[in-house]
């Protein structure tokens, strides 16, 4: 077999079964190999940012990497923004970048560029294969690297001749590195921080936001009185039903500072110390106030579940009774605004939904009203690179075809990678996209004010506006084979959500407000 | 004034008057400065690839840089593919990348990444400003670097505090480097190569494809009998009317080799030695056959006009009479296929049109039938990174508002950066987009065959297909405020082109075949 087929067979042997791709000429042997190895499902994206964002969503939901198969430096570059988000989420992904034949690079053909320097910006591991003979083993190592805690992107550059030359066969899987064990001293320090009388909080991230870990954290909270907190933007959070409620940190640094001013001991478990999303002239880079002591229990690359177990045991925290959820909100009526949009979603989201939240300013209201919804998974915009939502929802749906997926999506961000709708249509995915159409980059209107531009001039107004002309998301969706409807009242939104949730396949709802 | 305003004023003083942007929080001061300095026109793109591609089109048409204003590493990454094309076209562009405040980077906030390593992959010059005080001078140097022959992207990373801190004022323009003078020995060698009896060709690129240079080259051809040739993909070519006909090199390396097998002396003038666009197992990286001697007259960074003048003088080439153009083709009838599509465009394109050709396989037929069209400018896909067409047409139209612009566009490539249609609508640009909707990545069907996959399996078939569902470009355009029509006969295409050319503003025609 050729190197390409050996590579795909190596990935299948390691348990990988989906490849998100937009291939080009240098990937033709790999495309041929995808036909030869039907255990690998190939999914076409019409833009590389769709492929990488889908791989992120898939990896967050399954814990295992998808392949991306991308075309040289420029094709990979188109996928970098969503790989940036994946990097911040520690999502395992294996990127395959087809490149020119090894002997051709020195001729500097038009599509040549410095692929590795692009790859390193978002990858935990990068290698350029030197010969077909080394390709299967390189692939096995890439997969192991992607899965080594805390998880990340491993990027393998595959020169075309390495794909077309003959090889002996696939390589055996390589064992990923193990999660670090948290030292007893860290458990001791965390127990001291939480066990005293001072107000404390446990800041959870990564695996700390999964069901078993959350229940353990709730027991610790029950025992010590600490709050359970998570970052504003999380990779994945299990919530709703009888799961404990975790408080999201607010967004702006002065809000974080105020929030933490009532905490004396902050214990980190799978999350880093809070960092200002942006710096402002007040100079606050890390908003933790002086009076708040930060103690690290478990870094991202540790066994977070074991760390929580050890801490619970040390504190004598038992099993906590399941939370009795309150009423979920009723369906709203009246005008659309962030409150009614969030309420409509919370009132209607189906059991076991996956919600990809890139709703930006519109969505902050949703968090508070959705704690009593049926169990659901929330995926967040971890790296701040907009354009994650539609692709990530696409990948999450491919990972969990039996679960309804909701892309709760700001309009400005959605335009970055709208091509994902086509993949949803082609694959028949059960994704409901709810476009929050305020027809502005509204966060930037806020940020203009924070930058001292209280009265934006016509240029600032224009550069933060999505009007003139207004986007028509129903037409955009139709153009890619996704049925859509536009609504401008809460009643119509409720009806549209009910319709979308009742029918399988992709739907788009444009909520104009 | 703050650093942001001083930067924009420095750019205006250096003659820059347009800024393509998709700003974020770290660019708010710069957005404010765009209001303070109305001499700079700000144009919003809904995706960064639109901004960089538009800057490329603008730079190709004006010879001077536009600004792009982009948001941190991920925002810049979204613009890399079209900057790659611009790099191969030697287009002057000044990229401004807003970044975190200098003091905040060490905190590694979510949107932090290695911006410079991304920037170097597509830039001739990169700098991160260290303080507001240095920002105006850095900007002046960036502009000079972009304009220094052969021209390229200069990328200035602007930490947010450098934008908001106060400065004394703008910096004076810096003189760009001069074009190198071609040595007499090169002129002598070129004259010897062309002046003998052996069959010869002058391979023109860069400024060699502008009107004055082409006329000079035609005089040399008249005198020596050499052919005038250009690369398959050129940055900008003036053609039609009474301009001399330049033969495009074919695409595949074996075709180039065959073409050059009848040439004994190949003189390079603003173009490099031909390089295979991709390497294949036959191992041909440079298709020039052994029997063809390559002589460099003028590299890309030289004064190409002066070199041609010197060569013409050395050869005693006088002024050549203007070519008498033949008949342009009649409007076609019948079924749509690449032949009738190219013929329809050639039959109807208005006087003085700018044609951005990203038509891929569909467009090869157009070249031969359009030599007798009225004078027009052709822009090509220089770097092979698809998604150039719609943005580049947008920028070309902003550069030349009085000229009709035609985006001759493949459907697969068009989907990469379709957001450009919205900018065309907002700015009321006179751009006619002709989508060649074969609903396939047809070039990849060809490449599968070349890779030995004569009978693509269902996966290869699926990964190269834009059907299931078929894209509906009329709906996509409507979603962004551009009126569109779908046609499937030559007669309907002719009517649609006539309508689009008769009416100002953007139009889209989907030619399904």
CB-closest option in B23, B113, B471 to A84: B113
* A438 touches A362 (CB < 8 A): yes
- Sheet with B18-21, strands from edge to edge, namely B41-44, B18-21, B66-71, B93-99, B153-159, B125-128
User: Given an 8 Å threshold on Cβ–Cβ distance, is A476 in contact with B476?
Assistant: yes
- The predicted structure's pLDDT at residue A466: 97
* B20 touches B52 (CB < 8 A): yes
B307-339 confidence digits (pLDDT tens): 999 999 999 999 888 999 999 999 999 999 999
- Give the Cα separation of B286 and B299 in Å (integer): 18
Q: Closest Cα to residue B115, out of A348, A80, A218, A227? A: A80
- Give the Cα separation of B113 and A120 in Å (integer): 10
Write out the two tokens for A162.
């390495």
* Minimal CA separation from A324 to chain B, in Å: 35
Q: Does B463 touch chain A (CB under 8 A)?
A: yes
- Give the Cα separation of B492 and B498 in Å (integer): 10
In Å, the largest CA–CA distance within chain A is 69
Contacts of A75 in chain B (CB under 8 A): 81, 385
User: Given an 8 Å threshold on Cβ–Cβ distance, is A278 in contact with B425?
Assistant: no
Helix B72-89 with B389-399: angle, nearest 10 deg:
80
Mean pLDDT of B32-56: 98
User: Given an 8 Å threshold on Cβ–Cβ distance, is A74 in contact with B84?
Assistant: yes
User: Given an 8 Å threshold on Cβ–Cβ distance, is A44 in contact with B478?
Assistant: no
* Minimal CA separation from A240 to chain B, in Å: 26
> Residue A399 CB: number of other CB atoms within 10 A?
22
> Terminus-to-terminus CA distance in chain B, angstroms?
57
* B300 touches B206 (CB < 8 A): yes
Which residues of B, range 40-99, sit inside 8 Å of A by Cβ? 42, 44, 46-47, 49, 73-75, 77-78, 80-81, 84, 88
DSSP 8-state symbol, A241 = T
Nearest CA in chain A to B419: A415
Q: Which of A472-483 are b and which e, b meaning 16 or more Cβ less than 10 Å from the residue's Cβ? A: bbbbbbbbbbbe
- Give the Cα separation of A90 and A122 in Å (integer): 11
User: Given an 8 Å threshold on Cβ–Cβ distance, is A460 in contact with B31?
Assistant: yes
Contacts of B421 in chain A (CB under 8 A): none
CB-closest option in A84, A120, A471 to B479: A471
Nearest CA in chain A to B45: A463
Q: Does A505 touch chain B (CB under 8 A)?
A: no
- Give the Cα separation of A61 and B224 in Å (integer): 68
Four-residue CA torsion sign, A326, A330, A332, A333: negative
Contacts of A286 in chain B (CB under 8 A): 107
Q: Does B17 touch chain A (CB under 8 A)?
A: no
Element (H, E) at A153: strand A153-159
* B479 touches A510 (CB < 8 A): no
Element (H, E) at A185: helix A184-195
* Minimal CA separation from A188 to chain B, in Å: 27
- Give the Cα separation of A350 and B121 in Å (integer): 46
User: Given an 8 Å threshold on Cβ–Cβ distance, is B451 in contact with A28?
Assistant: yes
Q: Closest Cα to residue B278, out of B406, B451, B68? A: B451
User: Given an 8 Å threshold on Cβ–Cβ distance, is A109 in contact with B278?
Assistant: yes
* B473 touches B507 (CB < 8 A): no
A162-181 confidence digits (pLDDT tens): 999 999 999 999 999 999 99
Residues with Cβ within 8 Å of A217's Cβ and at least 6 positions away in sequence, in order, are A202, A204, A208, A228, A244, A269, A308
User: Given an 8 Å threshold on Cβ–Cβ distance, is A121 in contact with B78?
Assistant: no
Write down the number of H helices and E strands in chain A.
20, 18
* A493 touches A509 (CB < 8 A): yes
A287-335 confidence digits (pLDDT tens): 999 999 999 999 999 999 999 999 999 999 998 889 999 999 999 999 9
Which residues of B, range 292-321, sit inside 8 Å of A by Cβ? none
In the three-class reduction of DSSP (H, G, I as helix; E, B as strand; rest coil), residue A99 is classed as strand
- Give the Cα separation of B403 and B131 in Å (integer): 42
Q: Closest Cα to residue B83, out of B121, B116, B114? A: B121
pLDDT per residue rounded down to tens, chain A (513 residues): 999 999 999 999 999 999 999 999 999 999 999 999 999 999 999 999 999 999 999 999 999 999 999 999 999 999 999 999 999 999 999 999 999 999 999 999 999 999 999 999 999 999 999 999 999 999 999 999 999 999 999 999 999 999 999 999 999 999 999 999 999 999 999 999 999 999 999 999 999 999 999 999 999 999 999 999 999 999 999 999 999 999 999 999 999 999 999 999 999 999 999 999 999 999 999 999 999 999 999 999 999 999 999 999 999 999 888 999 999 999 999 999 999 999 999 999 999 999 999 999 999 899 999 999 999 999 999 999 999 999 999 999 999 999 999 999 999 999 999 999 999 999 999 999 999 999 999 999 999 999 999 899 999 999 999 999 999 999 999 999 999 999 999 999 999 999 999 999 999 999 999
User: Given an 8 Å threshold on Cβ–Cβ distance, is A44 in contact with B382?
Assistant: no
* Minimal CA separation from B45 to chain A, in Å: 9
Element (H, E) at A412: helix A411-414
In the three-class reduction of DSSP (H, G, I as helix; E, B as strand; rest coil), residue B491 is classed as helix
- The predicted structure's pLDDT at residue B128: 98
Q: Strand runs (DSSP E) across A12-152, as ranges?
A: 18-21, 41-44, 66-71, 93-99, 125-128
Contacts of B276 in chain A (CB under 8 A): 104, 107, 109
B267-283 confidence digits (pLDDT tens): 999 999 999 999 999 99
A412 to A247, A368, B145, B298, B473: CA distances (angstroms): 27, 24, 33, 46, 21
What are the backbone dihedrals phi and psi of residue B273, each rounded to the nearest 5 degrees, phi first?
-60, 140
* Minimal CA separation from B329 to chain A, in Å: 33
Q: Does A120 touch chain B (CB under 8 A)?
A: yes
Q: Closest Cα to residue B304, out of B214, B237, B207? A: B207
Write out the two tokens for A142.
């890439």
Beta strands A376-379; A237-239: pairing state: antiparallel
- The predicted structure's pLDDT at residue A454: 87
Q: Closest Cα to residue A239, out of A377, A78, A351, A413? A: A377
Helix A48-62 with A389-399: angle, nearest 10 deg:
50
- Give the Cα separation of B397 and B433 in Å (integer): 12
A299 to A179, A180, B105: CA distances (angstroms): 10, 9, 21
User: Given an 8 Å threshold on Cβ–Cβ distance, is B385 in contact with A111?
Assistant: yes
Residues with Cβ within 8 Å of B469's Cβ and at least 6 positions away in sequence, in order, are A422, A425, A426, A480, A481
- The predicted structure's pLDDT at residue A422: 99
The CA-CA-CA angle for residues A495, A496, A502, to 5°, reads 90
Nearest CA in chain A to B72: A385
Contacts of B287 in chain A (CB under 8 A): none
The residues with which B4 forms a beta bridge, in sequence order, are none
Beta strands A237-239; A125-128: pairing state: unpaired
Q: Does A122 touch chain B (CB under 8 A)?
A: yes
Which residues of B, range 250-269, sit inside 8 Å of A by Cβ? none
- Give the Cα separation of A71 and A28 in Å (integer): 10
User: Given an 8 Å threshold on Cβ–Cβ distance, is B100 in contact with A278?
Assistant: yes
Nearest CA in chain A to B44: A463
* Minimal CA separation from B183 to chain A, in Å: 25
Contacts of A479 in chain B (CB under 8 A): 471-479
A187 to A172, A207, B400: CA distances (angstroms): 37, 17, 67
Does residue B454 have a pLDDT over 90? no
Cis amide bond preceding A275, omega within 30: no
- Give the Cα separation of B80 and A243 in Å (integer): 43
Write out the two tokens for A241.
């039903």
- Give the Cα separation of A480 and A483 in Å (integer): 9
* Minimal CA separation from A279 to chain B, in Å: 6
Residues with Cβ within 8 Å of A67's Cβ and at least 6 positions away in sequence, in order, are A11, A16, A18, A19, A20, A21, A40, A55, A94, A95, A96
* A65 touches A55 (CB < 8 A): yes
* A484 touches A473 (CB < 8 A): yes
User: Given an 8 Å threshold on Cβ–Cβ distance, is A107 in contact with B46?
Assistant: no
In the three-class reduction of DSSP (H, G, I as helix; E, B as strand; rest coil), residue B227 is classed as strand
């Amino acid at each position: 077999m050729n190197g390409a087929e050996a590579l795909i067979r190596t990935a299948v042997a390691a348990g990988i079964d989906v490849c998100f791709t937009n291939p080009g000429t240098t990937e033709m042997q790999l495309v041929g190999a995808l036909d030869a190895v039907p255990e690998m499902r190939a999914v076409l994206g019409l833009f590389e940012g769709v492929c990488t964002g889908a791989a992120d969503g898939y990896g967050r939901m399954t814990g295992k990497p998808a392949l991306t198969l991308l075309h040289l430096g420029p094709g990979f570059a188109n996928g970098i923004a969503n790989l940036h988000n994946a990097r911040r989420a520690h999502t395992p992904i294996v990127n395959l970048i087809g490149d020119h034949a090894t002997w051709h690079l020195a001729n500097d053909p038009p599509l040549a560029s410095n692929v590795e320097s692009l790859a390193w910006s978002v990858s935990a591991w990068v290698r350029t294969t030197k010969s077909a003979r080394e390709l299967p083993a390189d692939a096995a190592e890439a997969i192991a690297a992607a899965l080594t805690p805390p998880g990340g992107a491993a990027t393998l550059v595959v020169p075309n001749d390495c794909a077309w030359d003959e090889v002996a066969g696939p390589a055996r899987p390589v064992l990923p590195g193990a999660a670090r064990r948290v030292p007893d001293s860290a458990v001791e320090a965390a127990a001291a921080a939480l066990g005293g009388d001072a107000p404390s909080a446990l800041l959870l991230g990564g695996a700390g936001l999964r069901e078993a870990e959350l229940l353990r954290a709730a027991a610790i909270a029950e025992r010590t009185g600490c709050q359970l907190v998570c970052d504003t933007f999380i990779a994945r959070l299990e919530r709703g039903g009888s799961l404990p409620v975790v408080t999201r940190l607010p967004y702006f640094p002065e809000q974080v500072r105020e929030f933490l001013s009532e905490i004396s001991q902050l214990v980190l478990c799978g999350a880093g110390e809070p960092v200002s999303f942006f710096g402002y002239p007040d100079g606050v880079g890390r908003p933790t106030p002086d009076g708040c002591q930060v103690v690290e229990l478990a870094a991202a690359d540790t066994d977070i579940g074991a760390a929580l177990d050890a801490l619970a045991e040390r504190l004598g925290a038992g099993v906590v009774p399941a939370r009795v959820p309150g009423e979920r909100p009723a369906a709203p009526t009246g005008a659309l605004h962030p409150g009614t949009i969030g309420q409509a979603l919370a009132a209607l989201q189906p059991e076991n939904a996956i919600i990809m939240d890139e709703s930006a300013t519109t969505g902050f209201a949703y968090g508070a009203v959705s704690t009593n919804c049926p169990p659901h998974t929330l995926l967040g915009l971890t790296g701040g690179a907009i354009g994650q939502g539609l692709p990530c929802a696409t990948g999450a749906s491919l990972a969990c075809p039996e679960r309804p997926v909701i892309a709760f999506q700001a309009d400005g961000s959605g335009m970055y990678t709208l091509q994902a709708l086509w993949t949803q249509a082609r694959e028949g995915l059960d994704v409901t996209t709810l476009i929050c159409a305020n027809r502005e980059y509204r966060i930037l209107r806020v940020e203009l004010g924070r930058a001292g531009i209280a009265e934006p001039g016509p240029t600032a107004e224009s550069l933060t506006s999505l009007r003139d002309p207004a986007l028509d998301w129903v037409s955009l969706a139709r153009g890619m084979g996704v049925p859509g409807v536009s609504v401008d009242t809460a009643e119509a939104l409720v009806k549209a959500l009910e319709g979308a949730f009742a029918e399988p396949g992709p739907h788009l709802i444009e909520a104009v407000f």
